[in-house]
């Protein structure tokens, strides 16, 4: 079941020319459009389905610095700063509230891992701190059971995924951006070795630059250009409760569950670190790239063998631009949620918080998370194709980091001083011999 998303109507007439075309209307594409439009750059955003139809409306809505890979902490910190002023900046409701986030730790070993992260994050002077069991109980009223302690960041927060990207897209439009939905981009046109335009299902647009913010589709899009972008798709599942009294304001995770309060008084609940990876040929093609991530994250991923192998096999990997492409065949990725993971989360949260014991589940949905080999996004120009930029691979935390990533991408496209050093995010790290590794799971 697809979650309901605030609607954004499509503009009607495709312009013949613009400055920048953005492919994808998730949180990353809409934030990039917003920050480019704010700089006065002519922008056209093309979304094959509806705004925020995929990951960006399906996530939990956590906006956090805590637990981030230190390589991306400067961007996460900038994103949190931007979220703080986002409602005002977009003159709309993104749902952002600074509620604090808590990682509950069952064992001393868990707590030691969290404390090690705190040590690594120390140069960034966050307000993160360890809590005792009693302190965690004060922040999370109704908490039951034995806990070794918790890691807590008061300045982290939550947003409303079903409202945020639409509000940001509308703000970008008010600043002059065009927003087209049901408008898949089939591929690029080049001239003299650099980007000259895009071909969409509704026609051509000449432009100086293109930003690919295509989420789980980005690898396929790049493949047709002859560019190798290592990226896997992992299924994550969520349920939404009806409004519920007596639950915590802070967002938190514990053993087998995570939750976040919604503006409507309900909660988004999922299984903490519980994702499904379908066995596909594309997985085998990228085995070497993902072995380090598999070693670090194997506990949090369930491998599934089934129909997806055939379905993935049947997706064309190359096409010409005068034909319908895979992007037109699947307007919105709407995978079935993994019911056993959600049933497990329901039980675990009910055992920990009495307020959740009789919760009524209004919806369950799935979303495909796009993951890179080092669990760090690609926010980068493409050396071999001037004018082409990629912002993808947010590896399960792009909602929170979205405004920072959009701002950074806008700086990179315009050649302005980047808001944070983008070196970590370069695409070439996968080919220049760096062999980037993921951070050990905390
Ligand atoms: C269940 C779940 C829970 C999560 N929880 C959190 C969380 O709590 N906090 C957090 O920070 N992150 C979380 N994430 C991750 C977060 O949702 C993503 O990292 C983020 O939304 C990625 O945004 P995006 O814009 O890159 O991708 P998407 O939102 O997937 O958007 C990409 C868009 O590109 C479009 N597109 C693709 N190809 C084309 C094309 N050729 N032409 C036109 N359009 C195209 C697609 O239709 C899609 O709408 C979660 C994700 C899931 C699934």
For 34-134, list the strands marked E by DSSP.
43-46, 62-63, 101-105, 128-131
Residue nearest to atom 51 of ligand 1 (CA): 59
- What lies within 8 Å, CB to CB, of 313 at 6+ separation is 280, 281
- Choose between 301 and 126: higher pLDDT: 126
Judge if the beta carbon of residue 213 lies within 6 A of ligand 1: yes
Residue nearest to atom 53 of ligand 1 (CA): 367
Ligand 1, atom nearest to 183 Cα: 43
For residue 118, pLDDT over 90 is answered with yes
pLDDT band at 4 (very low <50, low <70, confident <90, very high): very high
Judge if the beta carbon of residue 272 lies within 6 A of ligand 1: no
Q: What is the mean pLDDT of residues 386-397?
A: 97
CB atoms within 10 A of CB 436: 17
- What lies within 8 Å, CB to CB, of 3 at 6+ separation is 57, 58, 161, 162, 240, 363, 365
In 374-438, where does DSSP find H-type helix? Answer: 398-414
Judge if the beta carbon of residue 293 lies within 6 A of ligand 1: no
For residue 274, pLDDT over 90 is answered with no
- What lies within 8 Å, CB to CB, of 133 at 6+ separation is 146, 147, 148, 149, 150
For residue 180, the CA-to-ligand 1 centroid distance in Å is: 17
Entry pTM: 0.98
For residue 27, the CA-to-ligand 1 centroid distance in Å is: 7
pLDDT band at 433 (very low <50, low <70, confident <90, very high): confident
Lowest mean pLDDT among 96-100, 133-137, 291-295, 351-355: 291-295
pLDDT digits (tens, 9 = 90+) for 197-243: 999 999 999 999 999 999 999 999 999 999 999 999 999 999 999 99
Distance, CA of 340 to CA of 371 (rounded, Å): 22
pLDDT at 297 (0 to 100) = 74
For residue 442, pLDDT over 70 is answered with no
pLDDT at 108 (0 to 100) = 97
User: Contact at 8 Å (CB) between 210 and 20?
Assistant: yes
Judge if the beta carbon of residue 215 lies within 6 A of ligand 1: yes
pLDDT at 331 (0 to 100) = 97
Distance, CA of 232 to CA of 308 (rounded, Å): 13
pLDDT > 90 in the chain, percent: 92
pLDDT at 300 (0 to 100) = 78
pLDDT digits (tens, 9 = 90+) for 8-27: 999 999 999 999 999 999 99
Whether the CA torsion 181, 21, 414, 230 is positive or negative: it is: positive
In 203-338, where does DSSP find H-type helix? Answer: 218-224, 281-285, 287-297, 308-313, 326-329
For residue 374, pLDDT over 90 is answered with yes
Distance, CA of 126 to CA of 128 (rounded, Å): 5
pLDDT band at 273 (very low <50, low <70, confident <90, very high): confident
Q: Helix, strand or coil for residue 16?
A: coil
Q: What is the mean pLDDT of residues 374-393?
A: 97
CB atoms within 10 A of CB 191: 10
pLDDT band at 134 (very low <50, low <70, confident <90, very high): very high
Q: What is the mean pLDDT of residues 157-185?
A: 98
Q: What is the mean pLDDT of residues 321-346?
A: 96
CB atoms within 10 A of CB 254: 25
Q: What is the mean pLDDT of residues 290-303?
A: 82
pLDDT at 44 (0 to 100) = 98
Ligand 1, atom nearest to 53 Cα: 49
Distance, CA of 233 to CA of 60 (rounded, Å): 17
pLDDT at 441 (0 to 100) = 62
């Amino acid at each position: 079941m697809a979650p309901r998303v605030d609607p954004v109507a499509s503009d009607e007439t495709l312009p013949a020319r613009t400055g920048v075309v953005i492919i994808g209307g998730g949180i990353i594409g809409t934030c990039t459009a917003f920050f480019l439009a704010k700089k006065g750059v002519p922008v056209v955003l093309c979304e094959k389905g509806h705004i925020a139809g995929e990951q960006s409306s399906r996530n939990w809505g956590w906006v956090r610095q805590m637990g981030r890979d230190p390589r991306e902490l400067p961007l996460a910190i900038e994103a949190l700063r931007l979220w703080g002023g986002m409602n005002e900046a977009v003159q709309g409701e993104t749902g952002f509230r600074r509620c604090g986030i808590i990682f509950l730790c069952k064992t001393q070993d868990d707590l030691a891992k969290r404390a090690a992260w705190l040590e690594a994050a120390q140069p960034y002077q966050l307000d993160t701190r360890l809590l005792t069991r009693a302190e965690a109980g004060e922040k999370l009223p109704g908490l039951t059971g034995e806990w070794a302690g918790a890691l807590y960041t008061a300045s982290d927060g939550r947003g409303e995924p079903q409202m945020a990207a639409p509000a940001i897209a509308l703000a970008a439009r008010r600043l002059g951006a065009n927003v087209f939905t049901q408008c898949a981009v089939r591929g690029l046109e080049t001239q003299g070795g650099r980007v000259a335009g895009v071909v969409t299902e509704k026609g051509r647009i000449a432009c100086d630059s293109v930003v690919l913010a295509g989420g789980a589709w980005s690898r396929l899009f790049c493949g047709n250009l002859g560019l190798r972008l290592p990226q896997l798709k992992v299924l994550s599942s969520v349920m939404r409760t009806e409004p519920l009294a007596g639950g915590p304001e802070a967002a938190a995770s514990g053993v087998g569950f995570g939750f976040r309060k919604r503006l409507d008084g309900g909660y988004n609940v999922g299984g903490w670190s519980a994702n499904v990876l379908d066995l596909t040929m594309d997985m085998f093609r990228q085995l070497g790239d993902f072995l380090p991530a598999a070693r670090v994250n194997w506990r949090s991923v369930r491998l599934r063998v089934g129909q997806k192998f055939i379905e993935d096999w049947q997706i064309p990997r190359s096409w010409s631009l005068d034909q319908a492409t895979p992007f037109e065949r699947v307007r919105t990725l709407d995978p079935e949620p993994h019911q056993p993971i959600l049933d497990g989360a329901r039980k675990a949260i009910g055992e920990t918080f009495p307020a959740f014991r009789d919760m009524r589940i209004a919806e369950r949905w799935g979303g495909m998370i796009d993951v890179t080999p080092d669990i760090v996004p690609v926010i980068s120009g493409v050396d071999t194709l001037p004018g082409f930029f990629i912002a993808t691979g947010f590896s399960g935390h792009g909602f929170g980091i979205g405004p920072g990533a959009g701002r950074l991408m806008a700086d990179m496209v315009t050649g302005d001083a980047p808001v944070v050093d983008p070196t970590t995010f370069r695409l070439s790290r996968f080919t220049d011999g760096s062999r980037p590794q993921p951070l050990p799971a905390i």
